[in-house]
Amino acid sequence: MPVGGVAPVVAGPGRLISGFADERSGQIAFYGLFLGSVDSGLTVDDVLRDNTDGVVRGNLLEFKLSIPDLNVVVSQCVKYLSAERLKGRPVPANIILIDLIAEVAYVYGSKRYMELVERVYSGAASKNNDGFVAGPFRERLDYGSSDLDRQRLIDVMRTNDYERIHLDANCIVGWGREYYRLNPAARKDAFLGDEGEIRNPDTFRDYIYPYEGPTNVEFQYLMDKLNDDLSKKNLGAFYTPKCYADKSLELLREAIKRVPEGNDYVIIDRCAGTGNLEKGMTDEELSHCVLSTIEFYEYKVLVELLGARTRAIIPPVASRSVFVAGGNVRGANAMSRSYLENEVVMRYVRDPKCTIIMYENPPFSEATSVDHQSKGKSGTATWRNDYVVKEMKKAISGTDISIQAAQDLGNSFIWSAFHYYLRQPTDSYVVYSPVKYWKAQNLISKRFIDGYGFNRRWFHTNIDACIMVALWSNEDSDMDGFTINGYDYDERNDCLKPAVPLEVKRLHSRVTDYYDKRPIPEADRRGVLAGLNGYETTSRKPSGKPAKGEDLLGYMAVYGAGFDNPELHSSLLTAGRYDGHGFYLHRDNYLEKLPLFCASRFISYNRGWTERGLIMKSADGKDQFERDVRSGKLDQWLLKCLLFTCLERQNHMVTFTGSDGEEYRNELTLDTTNGPTIAATDIARLQTGPDEAALLLQWDQLLEAAKATREYDPAITYGVYQIGTEIDTSRKDPITGKTIYNNVPVHSAMKALKPLLRDYYNTEIAPVLRKYEYIK
Ligand SMILES: C[S@@+](CC[C@H](N)C(=O)[O-])C[C@H]1O[C@@H](n2cnc3c(N)ncnc32)[C@H](O)[C@@H]1O
């Protein structure tokens, strides 16, 4: 690039394509000229993907302003092709390099490079390409100067040929995903079975070679990722990585030490998957294991890998007759009645001279999870009708166990372990699960002996969250808290990172205890209702009567101990929420309700794995909090909460005119354009230090920028959220696909507010929330 950073505009007489400033615009001009002749249905958007310069039918295209060394560019293309294979995409048979300035295309066949394509590369494709020998090209086409060559280039680009690839553990997940995308109704059998796609390709017959492995053992660590959508819901299979499984063996060994002298013992894992928890066991330990898993292909791997070394696998041999519809194993559903009657397990449970140790990572499947609901179309989870799940529901109703606990398949495993299997005080359960079953749901009240916290990300999820593996003794206990060591995983060095202490404290109250429960006078039972987006909704079925009155300034709903789905469980609206779940804010005490909203935002500003899944909301400090509010000790802090609330985007209070003709005004904003709001009046009492001043200044800039836009309506009292939805709007660039903001100064002011607010929250708000156990 010349001095000053301005790229040359490639132009000149006699050129086919001129007037482009850089590689990107040259490439777009090239496609503009050629694509229509290749395939009139193709757009630039269709061909550009995944950092390649484009795939046109069976051709990978790579553009350069000029190509001084063909070897380097072909090497780069080989890496792109390798990435295509890993993603389950067909590998184009041709590579076409385009030298934009010389207007020359070089065509290579991919076949020659397939051995290299089937390797895995890390880092950018454009790096480390020296030393590669591309060999001779197949054709060189002067598309700039020769009509004949132009036509030839079009003919090449019209070809739709691919090189077939071999399946292995590196790429099987990509091809599995692609297979289920193209065959949404397909089950795992159709992909992985003896007659399935991988051994007998049909959808991919032109793209892959049949897989010839006699079993699926090669994919043992990936079987969870190869589930179809329905199985994902039902199986909740998230496998334990080796380093975590090895660490939890320490707990298992503590449990074995508790076996009384002279006793036999069995280690039961009812949901063993492909046996990840057991792989690090000694032969002696394995010889005590009774294992099973519901899913047929996991079961086959389990038998293959561990069958001969365990005490029993249920059922003992992998004959074809054990396969039942839906891909399950006959008799292996641990939630079924027949499993509870299975003598292979139950004879040990009945034997008083045998100690029972259960060692499990139960399926993680919550009926209420976002994932569960969003994938509704592919069928619903069937486990909710299982015998044990229903028995648990009956047993916990009317007890202090949260009924919510029955919405989680993992909880049914935990409950049933204590209910049906563990009998003696020296029996133990080593179990993986997020802590809420003990912390918030009172599912068990047993003696905690030892445990660790692990990052859920490494269990084939993308979520940073804490999973606890705990060793429980089968003895009742009312312990109130304990500390565990938390270990993240160091991927590069394949080891655990140094331990961090994590406190696990039990909750004794619900955050909804803070709700204002004063009855609303009948005269105020009028008005409209709002959706989660803050605006009036009439299309949703309301669950209660709306309210509007002089004394009422908005509606707050903050519920649930955990932080799953925080957008649903945290609402602050101008009108009542259509589905209720909250309470109306009154002018006289709204300030002391704001910490509730602040608490509900905790996870948005603290996304570390040591917080999510471990930290929860409670009203355990309510008495102390209310005493301190009454004494005036918290006056200034409540105003800080007010400042935070006014500037936080999840505050969905908006100003609008309802279908009843009344104005619903956002009173929790600092926009005084149309006269003071309640918040603006109260915030005047806040003693502002530099942090508050910076926030207020940023708010002023945001409002000012909003006022300068076409979309601004002077009759509206805006909050941050309403500026976000109505003014900080964006569109997609049709060519590049990039987001273009319609009002850049507004967007910039909005972006600048976010880190300021996060820091303010974490220094000024969160510590006090913790002190009063809003966050615990
Ligand atoms: C979280 S994975 C754990 C697998 C393995 N133990 C590990 O740690 O990697 C849960 C396993 O439970 C199995 N599973 C799900 N529902 C089951 C049921 N009702 N009965 C038995 N196994 C079940 C799934 O197929 C899956 O392999």
Q: Please name the residue that has the structure tokens 């002391």.
A: 592
| Better-predicted residue by pLDDT, 32 or 769 | 769
Tell me: the pLDDT tens digits for 184-202? 999 888 999 889 999 999 9
pLDDT at residue 380 in the model: 59
Helix pair 622-631, 590-600: axis angle to 10 deg: 140
Whole-number Å distance, alpha carbon 332 to ligand 1 midpoint, is 10
Residue 5 lies in a domain: no
pLDDT at residue 129 in the model: 77
Residue 329 lies in a domain: yes
List of E strands, 301-427: 312-314, 323-324, 328-329, 354-360
Indicate the top mutation candidate among 294, 338, 413, 456 to test ligand 1's pocket, ranked by most ligand atoms within 8 A of CB: 294
Q: Please name the residue that has the structure tokens 């992998």.
A: 318
363 lines ligand 1 (CB under 6 A): yes
Whole-number Å distance, alpha carbon 368 to ligand 1 midpoint, is 19
355 lines ligand 1 (CB under 6 A): no
Residue 4 lies in a domain: no
Helices vs. strands in the chain: H and E counts, helices first: 26, 29
pLDDT band at 327 (very low <50, low <70, confident <90, very high): confident
334 lines ligand 1 (CB under 6 A): yes
Tell me the residue length of the chain.
776
Res. 632: pLDDT tops 50: yes
Tell me: the pLDDT tens digits for 698-727? 999 999 999 999 999 999 999 999 999 999
Whole-number Å distance, alpha carbon 236 to ligand 1 midpoint, is 7
Closest approach atom of ligand 1 to CA 293? 22
Whole-number Å distance, alpha carbon 760 to ligand 1 midpoint, is 43
Whole-number Å distance, alpha carbon 382 to ligand 1 midpoint, is 15
pLDDT at residue 6 in the model: 43
Res. 2: pLDDT tops 80: no
Whole-number Å distance, alpha carbon 363 to ligand 1 midpoint, is 5
Here the CATH number for the domain that contains residue 455 is: 3.40.50.150
As a whole number of angstroms, the distance between CA 15 and CA 171 comes to 43
749 token code pair: 């002011």
Tell me: the pLDDT tens digits for 646-679? 999 999 999 999 999 999 999 999 999 999 999 9
Contacts within 8 Å (CB) and 24+ apart, 208-216 = 208/164, 208/165, 208/166, 208/167, 208/175, 209/164, 209/165, 209/166, 209/167, 211/166, 211/167, 215/300, 215/301, 215/304, 216/192, 216/297, 216/300, 216/301
Closest approach atom of ligand 1 to CA 386? 19
Closest approach atom of ligand 1 to CA 278? 6
User: What's the first-to-final CA gap in the chain, in angstroms?
Assistant: 56
- Report angle CA 566, 571, 576 to the nearest 5 degrees: 150
pLDDT at residue 3 in the model: 37
Res. 48: pLDDT tops 50: yes
Whole-number Å distance, alpha carbon 768 to ligand 1 midpoint, is 41
Closest approach atom of ligand 1 to CA 239? 9
Q: In what order do the strands lie in the sheet with 552-558?
A: 570-573, 552-558, 583-586
pLDDT at residue 372 in the model: 44
Residue 258 lies in a domain: yes
Res. 502: pLDDT tops 80: yes
- In a shared domain, residues 311 and 326: yes
| Better-predicted residue by pLDDT, 10 or 606 | 606
277 lines ligand 1 (CB under 6 A): yes
What is the b/e burial string over 453-483, where b = at least 16 CB atoms within 10 angstroms of the residue's CB? bbbbbbbbeeebbbbbbbbbbbeeeeeeebe
Residue 465 lies in a domain: yes
- In a shared domain, residues 518 and 387: no
Which residue's alpha carbon is at the smallest distance from atom 2 of ligand 1? 237
pLDDT band at 177 (very low <50, low <70, confident <90, very high): very high
| Better-predicted residue by pLDDT, 53 or 330 | 330
342 lines ligand 1 (CB under 6 A): no
List of E strands, 394-445: 428-433
Which of 105, 134, 163 delimits the end of a domain? 163
Whole-number Å distance, alpha carbon 270 to ligand 1 midpoint, is 7
Residue 618 lies in a domain: yes
Indicate the top mutation candidate among 243, 271, 409 to test ligand 1's pocket, ranked by most ligand atoms within 8 A of CB: 271
Whole-number Å distance, alpha carbon 12 to ligand 1 midpoint, is 66
276 lines ligand 1 (CB under 6 A): yes
Alpha carbon of 22 to those of 10, 27, 77, 616, 745: distances in Å? Answer: 8, 8, 20, 52, 28
Which residue's alpha carbon is at the smallest distance from atom 15 of ligand 1? 235
Closest approach atom of ligand 1 to CA 335? 19
- In a shared domain, residues 430 and 387: yes
Res. 77: pLDDT tops 50: yes
Q: Which residues face 504 on adjacent strands?
A: 482
Helix or strand holding residue 604 (H, E)? helix 602-605
226 lines ligand 1 (CB under 6 A): no
HSE-up of residue 235 (Cα within 13 Å, Cβ side)? 31
Res. 643: pLDDT tops 90: yes
As a whole number of angstroms, the distance between CA 138 and CA 94 comes to 10
Q: What's 225's DSSP letter? A: G
DSSP track, 480-516 = -EEEEEEE-EETTTTEEPPPEEEEEE---S-GGGGS-
Helix pair 409-416, 387-396: axis angle to 10 deg: 80
As a whole number of angstroms, the distance between CA 244 and CA 235 comes to 20
As a whole number of angstroms, the distance between CA 286 and CA 306 comes to 8
Q: What share of the chain is helix, strand, coil (3-state, %, to 5)?
A: 35, 15, 45
Whole-number Å distance, alpha carbon 604 to ligand 1 midpoint, is 31
- In a shared domain, residues 501 and 583: no
- In a shared domain, residues 257 and 200: no
As a whole number of angstroms, the distance between CA 508 and CA 536 comes to 36
- In a shared domain, residues 543 and 611: yes
Among 199-203, 289-293, 323-327, the least confident range: 323-327
- Domain residues for the domain of 196 are 172-235
238 lines ligand 1 (CB under 6 A): yes
pLDDT at residue 50 in the model: 62
- In a shared domain, residues 229 and 304: no
List of E strands, 605-736: 656-657, 663-664, 730-732
Res. 754: pLDDT tops 70: yes
Which of 145, 163, 181 delimits the end of a domain? 163
- In a shared domain, residues 360 and 478: yes
Average pLDDT of the chain, as a whole number: 93
Whole-number Å distance, alpha carbon 408 to ligand 1 midpoint, is 14
Among 89-93, 430-434, 493-497, 540-544, the least confident range: 540-544
- For the chain, what is the domain count? 4
Q: Three-state SS string across 271-328, please? A: CCCCCCCCCCCCHHHHCCEEEECCEHHHHHHHHHHHHHHCCEEECCCCCHHHEEHHHE
| Better-predicted residue by pLDDT, 579 or 123 | 579
pLDDT at residue 377 in the model: 43
pLDDT at residue 566 in the model: 85
Tell me: the pLDDT tens digits for 531-574? 999 999 988 888 889 999 999 999 999 999 999 888 899 999 99
As a whole number of angstroms, the distance between CA 268 and CA 417 comes to 10
Question: Could you tell me which of 639, 631, 632 has the C-alpha nearest to residue 687?
Answer: 639
Alpha carbon of 10 to those of 21, 23, 66, 437, 684: distances in Å? Answer: 6, 10, 11, 66, 60
Burial of 557 (0-12, 13-18, 19+ CB in 10 A): buried
As a whole number of angstroms, the distance between CA 718 and CA 76 comes to 51
Indicate the top mutation candidate among 223, 244, 277, 293 to test ligand 1's pocket, ranked by most ligand atoms within 8 A of CB: 293
Residues 6+ apart with CB under 8 A from 119: 82
Which residue's alpha carbon is at the smallest distance from atom 8 of ligand 1? 240
Mean pLDDT within 64-78: 95
Give the rounded percent of residues in the chain with a pLDDT score beyond 70: 96
- In a shared domain, residues 392 and 451: yes
249 lines ligand 1 (CB under 6 A): no
| Upstream peptide bond of 546 is cis (omega within 30 degrees of 0) | no
Tell me: the pLDDT tens digits for 225-276? 888 887 777 777 889 999 999 999 999 999 999 999 999 999 999 999 999 9
Residue 9 lies in a domain: no
- In a shared domain, residues 500 and 519: no
Paired sense of beta strands 323-324 and 328-329, if any: antiparallel
Sign of CA dihedral 224, 226, 227, 233: positive
pLDDT at residue 228 in the model: 83
As a whole number of angstroms, the distance between CA 761 and CA 755 comes to 10
Mean pLDDT within 133-137: 94
Which residue's alpha carbon is at the smallest distance from atom 4 of ligand 1? 273
58 lines ligand 1 (CB under 6 A): no
Burial of 350 (0-12, 13-18, 19+ CB in 10 A): exposed
CB 293 within 8 A of CB 329: yes
As a whole number of angstroms, the distance between CA 691 and CA 481 comes to 35
- In a shared domain, residues 259 and 189: no
| Better-predicted residue by pLDDT, 235 or 499 | 499
Closest approach atom of ligand 1 to CA 272? 6
Closest approach atom of ligand 1 to CA 409? 16
Residue 615 lies in a domain: yes
As a whole number of angstroms, the distance between CA 27 and CA 298 comes to 47
Question: Could you tell me which of 446, 376, 451, 373 has the C-alpha nearest to residue 415?
Answer: 446
As a whole number of angstroms, the distance between CA 160 and CA 179 comes to 20
pLDDT band at 375 (very low <50, low <70, confident <90, very high): very low
335 lines ligand 1 (CB under 6 A): yes
pLDDT at residue 51 in the model: 64
- In a shared domain, residues 383 and 460: yes
Tell me: the pLDDT tens digits for 606-623? 999 999 999 999 999 999
Tell me: the pLDDT tens digits for 79-89? 999 999 999 99
What is the b/e burial string over 224-254, where b = at least 16 CB atoms within 10 angstroms of the residue's CB? bbbbbbbbbbbbbbbbbbebbbebbbebbee
Which of 140, 163, 186 delimits the end of a domain? 163
As a whole number of angstroms, the distance between CA 403 and CA 411 comes to 11
Mean pLDDT within 432-448: 96
